[in-house]
Amino acid sequence: MHINPDHFLQTDRGRVFTPERNRHVWESSYSALERTLGEIARPATVYLLVGPQGAGKSTWVKNRPLAEAAVYFDAILVKRSERAEILSRIKPFGAQVIAVWLQTSLLACLERNAARPADEAVNEKALRNVYAALEAPSLSEGFDAIIEVPHDRLPGTVLRS
């Protein structure tokens, strides 16, 4: 299962961003995560993708075989506080949680973002702010493992646990 908050922003007119919609999108994403974890086979594995817009998160997921007991939560999740909310929602289900840290250069993120359709691209300043706010994932947050994906090795992975 691939959960991406951006998918909940989609309308007939493209993606629509408002603060109210953003709050709704995150609640919808959390609900989808919890519903999926309640329904899938055990033991489940959740992959939390970490990286700014344009880092290659969705591409990484598309290049993975989607396993029956795997959930891919595909959002920027660059701050520990953002990841803590999701980790607390996963914990009751006893799933293994793996951070996938896409270590893409700012230049590559900016180039990929500029190539997106207008309704999917983010403001350059916002992307730069997200990039600057990136906090590397750590096992101390509650991850069972961390997969580091260097920007020049997408979709390859290096496992650190």
pLDDT for the residue 11 = 66
Q: What is the pLDDT of residues 95-109, one digit of tens each?
A: 999 999 999 999 999
More confident residue, 71 or 18: 71
CA torsion 130-136-139-145 (nearest 10°) is 90
pLDDT for the residue 15 = 65
pLDDT for the residue 87 = 97
Vertex 155 angle, CA 154 and 158, to 5°: 85
pLDDT for the residue 145 = 97
pLDDT for the residue 158 = 40
If you average pLDDT over residues 27-32, what whole number do you get?
90
**What is the residue-wise DSSP string for the chain?**
-EE-GGGGGEETTEE---HHHHHHHHHHHHHHHHHHHHHSPSSPEEEEEE--TTSSHHHHHHTS---TTEEEEES---SHHHHHHHHHHHGGGT-EEEEEEEE--HHHHHHHHHTS-TTT---HHHHHHHHHH-----GGGT-SEEEEEEGGGTT--EEE-
pLDDT for the residue 43 = 86
Q: What is the pLDDT of residues 139-160, one digit of tens each?
A: 999 999 999 998 765 554 444 4
Given a cut of 60, whether residue 161 has pLDDT beyond it is no
Please report the domains of the chain, with CATH numbers, ordered by start residue.
Answer: 2-160 (3.40.50.300)
Q: What is the pLDDT of residues 60-87, one digit of tens each?
A: 999 988 787 899 999 989 999 999 999 9
